[in-house]
Amino acid sequence: MKSAVILISGRGSNMQALVEAKPGLDFRAVISNRPAAAGLAWAAEQGIATRVVDHKAHSSREDFDAALARAAADFAPDYLFLAGFMRILGAGFIDRYPRRILNIHPSLLPCFPGLDTHRRALEAGVKLHGATVHFVTPALDHGPILVQAAVPVLGADTEESLAARVLAQEHRIYPQAARWLAEGRVEFRGADVVQV
């Protein structure tokens, strides 16, 4: 069975969706960069090992990345899942896990990378918004896309209402992507990734 470590910064709703879906991966640990992340308590209640690598305790991103890499390596994961992990990982960290780090982003990439995606989607007047599961590369939110889900943008939408509909899709497609990985149904073809 393939193994995984989940990285979180907050409540970890996508972490919960991954674990509860039982996609066929051994979730060995949940690691947070914030000691007070609510998701740590939930993970511990499930019997999953937890660790904290506080980014504030490190003087540089490189030092934090090195400490995070050591913590993750203790669990020898096949994959890392970023689930609301609010730190940008440097190339040195990403290179340790080539094509093995996944992220869930609340937009239809390549549209609206970075933060405030729902506000930006509303301001742009798009008719569709959504979520993307992609592999992580040093280019922020620009790695190969594995799966996306779209939701309509409604005339009465607020950031909160749109975010809620997108989050429901995140909770559906992230476990789906994890299941594909567990079943060996993901292939890279050059720079592209496909589900087979």
**Exposed e or buried b per residue across 89-105, where buried means at least 16 C-beta atoms within 10 angstroms of its C-beta:** bbeebbebbeebbbbbb
Q: Which amino acid makes up residue 166?
A: V
The reply to whether omega before 110 is within 30° of 0 (cis) is: yes
Of the residues 55, 58, 105, 142, only one is catalytic, namely: 105
The answer to whether 105 is a known catalytic residue is yes
Residue 12 · residue 38 · CB < 8 Å = yes
β-pairing verdict for 49-52 and 26-32: parallel
Residue 52 CA to residue 75 CA, distance in Å, equals 14
Q: Is 119 within 8 Å of 43 (Cβ atoms)?
A: no
**Strand bridging mode 79-82 / 3-8:** parallel
Task: Check residue 90 and report its DSSP letter.
Answer: P
The catalytic site residues sit at 105
